[in-house]
């Protein structure tokens, strides 16, 4: 029996060059650490941690009946346009992002995507106009975590990303390093953002963030450090 191919993110070559140590999880090759988890956590607490969040499921839903679809899945309406919500779909934890009145983006953990996609597909069959599309391979995703994230984004993103303008779980779109990006503020203790760009621009945006954040203490962080930071709460 032939093993299923392992997915690699658009930033895989850069991670190899940065001496990342990898693990395989849910069909993805994931950068577990670059130096040590303790060192990476401290680097993020002082400056900016840059994490490859591409190993996750990404499901787009479009159509005039996305509210009916969300109600069928969660028992309530979707978040307002420009906001996100943490939900459970098909037994998997998701971030449900409302990009437009007729558009949702569902982000899942790497192991939860199949069950979430199945639940959404079945629910979509019961409403008139809501069409799910697997966008997992279409986007590269990066998390930026740390007290100096705002200063970094000011250099590359001509949007107001202050907490007043973009509160926790708010989502917006703009040009990051001249590349169209979806930008989501995550509700964590440290300032944290998730940025999604077209996969073909992933390596360019990673390099752009690293270059712009050098004097801000930017450092790549692996999955172990990222999980610890996320677990510290908000």
Domain boundary at 111, 134, 157, which? 134
Domain boundary at 134, 166, 181, which? 134
* Residue 106 and residue 72 share a domain: yes
Residue owning tokens 């979430």:
116
What are 30's strand-pairing partners?
A: 23
110 burial via Cβ count (<10 Å: 0-12, 13-18, 19+): middle
What is the value of pTM for the model shown? 0.95
DSSP 8-state class, residue 204: H
d(CA 82, CA 216): 28
Q: At what angle do helices 223-230 and 37-46 cross, to 10 degrees?
A: 50
* Residue 107 and residue 47 share a domain: no
pLDDT, position 91? 84
Residue range(s) defining the domain that contains residue 107: 57-134
Is residue 128 within 8 A of residue 144, CB to CB? The reply is no
d(CA 199, CA 185): 20
Number of domains comprising the chain: 2
- Count CB-CB contacts under 10 A for residue 13: 11
Q: What is the pLDDT along the chain (234 residues), one digit of tens a residue?
A: 455 689 999 999 999 999 999 999 999 999 999 999 999 999 999 999 999 999 999 999 999 999 999 999 999 888 999 999 999 988 889 999 999 999 999 999 999 999 999 999 999 999 989 999 999 999 999 999 999 999 999 999 999 999 999 999 999 999 999 999 999 999 889 999 999 999 999 999 999 999 999 999 999 999 999 999 998 854
pLDDT, position 234? 40
């Amino acid at each position: 029996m032939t093993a299923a191919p392992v997915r690699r993110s658009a930033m895989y070559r850069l991670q190899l060059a940065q001496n990342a140590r990898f693990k395989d999880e849910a069909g993805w090759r994931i950068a577990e650490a670059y130096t040590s988890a303790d060192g990476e956590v401290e680097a993020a607490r002082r400056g900016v941690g840059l994490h490859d969040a591409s190993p996750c499921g990404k499901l787009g839903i479009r159509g005039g009946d996305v509210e009916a679809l969300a109600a069928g899945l969660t028992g309530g309406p979707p978040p307002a346009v420009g906001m996100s919500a943490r939900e459970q779909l098909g037994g998997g934890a998701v971030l449900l992002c409302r990009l437009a009145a007729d558009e949702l983006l569902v982000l899942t953990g790497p192991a939860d995507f199949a069950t979430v996609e199945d639940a959404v597909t079945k629910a979509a069959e019961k409403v008139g106009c809501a069409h799910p599309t697997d966008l997992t391979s279409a986007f590269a995703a990066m998390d930026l975590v740390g007290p100096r994230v705002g200063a970094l984004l000011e250099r590359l993103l001509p949007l107001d990303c202050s907490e007043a303008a973009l509160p926790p779980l708010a989502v917006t779109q703009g040009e990051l390093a001249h590349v169209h990006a979806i930008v989501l503020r995550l509700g964590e203790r440290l300032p944290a953002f998730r940025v999604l760009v077209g996969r073909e621009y992933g390596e360019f945006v990673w390099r752009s963030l690293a270059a712009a954040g050098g004097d801000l203490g930017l450092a790549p962080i692996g999955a172990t450090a990222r999980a610890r930071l996320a677990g510290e709460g908000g």
